Chain A
Amino acid sequence: MDKILKYGLFIWLTAVICFAIIAPIPAVGSMGERARILYFHVPTAWVSTVAFIMALFYGAQYIRKRDILYDYKAASSAALGLIFAVLATVTGAIWAKFEWGAFWNWDPRQTSIFVLILVYGAYFALRSAVESEDQRAKLSSVYSILAGITVPFFVFIFPRIVDSLHPDPIVNSSGKVKMNTSMLLVFLSSLAGFTGLFVWMLNLRIRLSKLALKEDRA
């Protein structure tokens, strides 16, 4: 069953990649073929948001139950969130180079994700600065809760309250998805595939943390 799921994910994402790059897309504004980045850029941003919210959840669980494993789970989730946030920034910057003329423009979207990366970079700086395991877990759990609260602000609110060159987000103020059916299908499949990949990555990291914890206690 486990094996089937993994190979299923492989086939799923392989199909998504093929459709995303080869399937014809309608003209989206002035973007043309460049609009294909949407199939990779948005899912990475989505996964980073999910990961940061999960880090908040695990941080709160640690505060409630004082089980060190939750601290490891929070750190694993935040680490993956950070990686996906960097990927979203890089894919966004590549697109910006061809659409806006420069890799970096301090657009509200770019600024907000940059601040988010700094916030979670500070989380790992904090973790590495505290030697005592309990103290580290307490401090970083509180920090992950506070940082998690800022995520919806930086991802959903800030870029919408100031003028931005960023294309209308999928969940936009008009409440309509401006995408044709075939594009939407590939996009949603990509979103599901990336989420599955994140779940698997998180599972690997948590299992690794469990083994390290066992080793420490032995």
Chain B
Amino acid sequence: MEFLEQYSNYIVLAVTLITWAGIFFYMYSIDKKLKNIEEEK
């Protein structure tokens, strides 16, 4: 518990960064797929 309290900012930072990276790479992969379909048509 003490660990969580002491490093709470860093834990929030890690969770936020992982979430943001997930959103970014998901969007990036959709962008890539869309580009491929657009080029096909």
Tell me whether A211 and B27 are in contact in the complex, defined as CB-CB below 8 angstroms, given that A17-B13, A21-B9, A22-B13 are known contacts.
no
Query: In the complex the two chains form, what is the Cα distance from A207 to B39 in whole Å?
Result: 12
Query: Are B9 and A200 interface neighbours, CB within 8 A?
Result: no
Q: Which of A6-14, A50-58, A116-124, A146-154 contacts B (4 or more CB under 8 A)?
A: A6-14
A200 CA to B32 CA, complexed, in Å: 13
Chain A residues numbered 117-139 whose CB sits less than 8 Å from any CB in chain B: none
Residues of chain A within 8 A of B31, CB atoms compared = 6, 200, 204
A125 to B16, CA, bound (A): 33
- Interface membership of A201, Cβ < 8 A: yes
Q: Across the interface, which residues of B come within 8 angstroms of A200, CB to CB?
A: 27, 31
* Chain A residues positioned under 8 Å from B20 (CB to CB): 13-14, 17
Report A-chain residues with C-beta under 8 Å of the C-beta of B41.
211, 214
| Residue in A21, A201, A208, A211 whose CB lies within 8 Å of B12 | A21
Report whether B34 and A204 are in contact in the complex, using a CB–CB cutoff of 8 Å: yes
A115 vs B30: C-alpha distance in the bound complex, in angstroms?
Answer: 32
Interface residues on A, range: 10 to 19
DSSP class of A's interface residues: helix, strand, loop or mixed? helix
A204-B27 in contact (CB<8A): yes
| Interface status of A18 (Cβ within 8 A of chain B) | yes
Nearest opposing residue in chain B for A9, CB measure: B24
CA distance A18 to B20 in the complex (A): 11
Known: A10-B24, A22-B9, A214-B41. A204 touches B17 (CB 8 A): no
Which B residues are CB-close (under 8 A) to A22? Answer: 9-10, 13
The complex places the Cα of A179 from the Cα of B31 at a distance, in Å, of 37
CB-based contact A211/B37 at 8 Å:
yes
Residues of B close to A10: CB separation below 8 A: 24
The 6 closest A-B CB pairs, nearest first, are A21-B13, A10-B24, A207-B34, A17-B16, A21-B12, A21-B9
Sample 19 A-B pairs with CB under 8 A, ordered by A number. Answer: A6-B28, A6-B31, A13-B20, A13-B24, A14-B21, A17-B13, A17-B20, A18-B13, A21-B9, A21-B12, A22-B9, A22-B13, A200-B31, A201-B27, A204-B27, A204-B30, A204-B31, A204-B34, A211-B34
